[in-house]
Amino acid sequence: MRCPFCGYKDSRVIDSRDIEAGESIRRRRECPECGQRFSTYERVALSLQVVKRDGRREEFDRGKLVNNMWKACEKRGLSVDTIEAIGRQIERKVHRLGLSEVPSTVLGEYAMEALRDLDEIAYIRFASVYKAFADLDDMRAEMERLVARAPSEDPSRA
């Protein structure tokens, strides 16, 4: 691994740790030339193409999914770790499908499902973009479906 500080062509690993429940490895490295330390992250690279609604294809990017969910969760008091964990769960789910291409609608549905269970306001925010509500009636109908879905005996709703 090339040193990001001095550009030396090699570095040595001084520590390795599993992260993200064993899905990634964090390696602490040291440059023998300048002595600087830095971290690298390693995870399995499975090629997965996302098929957009207009037919375009692009490489799956968990970071993009997490950023889109995070926009819906802004100022909702949720931690970055929580949203990252949801992103990892969705990525695992998609890879378990065993497909080389997945429609973007599948990712959107998985994200909405997770957000609906986590925070209803974040869910409505995400759904308003994902489902492209045309007007307030569309949003109201979605909110009514959300309320109807909620168990009536939930004490937090009283």
Does one domain contain both 17 and 86?
A: no
Q: Assess if residue 158 is contained within a domain.
A: no
pLDDT of amino acid 153: 46
Does one domain contain both 56 and 115?
A: yes
Does one domain contain both 62 and 103?
A: yes
pLDDT of amino acid 151: 65
Does one domain contain both 17 and 62?
A: no
pLDDT digits (tens, 9 = 90+) for 80-139: 899 999 999 999 899 889 899 999 999 999 999 999 999 999 999 999 888 888 888 988
Does one domain contain both 17 and 88?
A: no
pLDDT of amino acid 135: 87
Q: Assess if residue 156 is contained within a domain.
A: no
Q: Assess if residue 4 is contained within a domain.
A: no
Q: Assess if residue 123 is contained within a domain.
A: yes
Q: Assess if residue 6 is contained within a domain.
A: no
Q: Assess if residue 27 is contained within a domain.
A: yes
Q: Assess if residue 7 is contained within a domain.
A: no
The set of residues, in sequence order, having a beta carbon less than 8 Å from that of 125 and lying 6+ positions away, is 71, 72, 73
pLDDT digits (tens, 9 = 90+) for 63-76: 999 999 999 999 99
pLDDT of amino acid 47: 81
Does one domain contain both 127 and 112?
A: yes
pLDDT of amino acid 21: 74
Does one domain contain both 37 and 82?
A: no
Q: What is the pTM of this model?
A: 0.66
Domain count, the chain: 2
Does one domain contain both 23 and 64?
A: no
Task: Enumerate long-range contacts of 37-45, CB under 8 Å, 24 or more apart.
Answer: 38/3, 38/4, 38/5, 38/11, 40/1
Does one domain contain both 95 and 130?
A: yes
Does one domain contain both 85 and 29?
A: no
Strand partners, 16: 27
pLDDT of amino acid 133: 85
Range of the domain at 144: 49-151
Strand partners, 100: none
Q: Assess if residue 2 is contained within a domain.
A: no
pLDDT digits (tens, 9 = 90+) for 141-157: 999 988 888 665 444 44
Average pLDDT estimate for 18-33:
89
Which tops the pLDDT comparison, 22 or 48?
Answer: 48
pLDDT of 158 above 50: no
